[in-house]
Amino acid sequence: MQRLSEIKSLLAERGLRPRKRFGQNFLHDHNLLLRLVDDAGIGVDDVVLEIGPGTGTLTETLLERGACVVACELDDDLADIIQDRIGNRIELIRGDCLGKGRSLSSDIVDAIGGRNFKLVANLPYQIASPLMVELLLNHSNCVGQWITIQDEVADRLVASPGASGWGPLGIIVQWASVVSKLAVLPPSCFWPSPSVTSAMVSIQPRPQVSDVDGVQFAQFITKLFSTRRKQLGGVLGRERMESVGIDPTWRCERLNIDQLVAVFKSD
């Protein structure tokens, strides 16, 4: 597994530095990298999607476990490093992991080829939320996500009704999956050190969710929470609220997932 000195050398040899615009903060803590792989239960022939492999520290660990890795790297210079170090041992995709409408890149979809896969990655912060939701709602062959993200985002994923972080992201993720916060990662675990604390989370799809369309439910929740300061009766109508046993004077941030599903289905 690459040490921090090796990561720095790999970049310095090519005259490179971490690029802030790509969200490049390299996770170099070996214990945390191993925990991510262990918690994901990576074994021989598992198909793993890695977004933002950087210099390949996590990638090489996944390969040591016998995984089939599809790695997507936006930075061409880093992709060159991966190509030189690992060659044809992985399926390397150059470009953005998200395409038009924040859908998963068609190149990634083609590389996975309908196989069940796991997302295991130190995600660039700016694409974490849309990628998590995209995989949950539109890719049933994604059997789990083990990722590092901003701690603030992780708190939103595990928030409860009435809490300040309770909103569309956490509701959608909790509706579709069981989410756990595995560890908090201080800035010192990364190079360069980010200005925020990070967290490691696991997101495992529920075997069966309620009989509603996930995409439509997500759109409903997002629109509803744009009026979160207004009473539900004023937004959706008193009769509709009363029909599902909810006080029309309540605000949406007070409702749990079952109540939100009931409201959605009452239309």
Radius of gyration of the chain (CA): 20
> So what's the pLDDT on residue 207?
81
Query: How would you write 138-176 as a 3-class SS string?
Result: HCCCEEEEEEEEEHHHHHHHCCCCCCCCCCHHHHHHHHH
Per CATH, domain 4-205 is 3.40.50.150: yes
- In tens, the pLDDT along 68-87 reads 999 999 999 999 999 999 98
Alpha-carbon distance of 46 to 14, in angstroms, equals: 33
Q: What is residue 154's predicted lDDT score, i.e. its pLDDT?
A: 98
DSSP string of 192-210?
A: SPPSS-EEEEEEEE-SS--
Residue 244 to residue 262: CA distance in whole angstroms = 7
Instruction: For the chain, list residues with pLDDT below 50.
Output: none
pLDDT for 87 equals: 86
pLDDT of residue 161: 97
Express each pLDDT in 130-139 by its tens digit. 999 999 999 9
**What is the pairing mode between strands 47-51 and 68-73?**
parallel
Q: What pLDDT does 140 receive?
A: 94
Work out the percent of the chain whose per-residue pLDDT is above 70.
Answer: 99
Q: What is the CATH number of domain 214-265?
A: 1.10.8.100
Q: How far apart are CA 156 and CA 56, in angstroms?
A: 29
Other Cβ atoms within 10 Å of 187 Cβ, number: 14
Q: Give the N- to C-terminal CA distance of the chain in Å, as an integer.
A: 54
The ranges assigned to domains in the chain are: 4-205, 214-265
Nearest to 46 by CA among 143, 189, 187, 134: 143
Q: How far apart are CA 213 and CA 22, in angstroms?
A: 33
Q: What does the pLDDT read at residue 209? A: 66
pTM score: 0.95
- Which pLDDT value is given to residue 210? 67
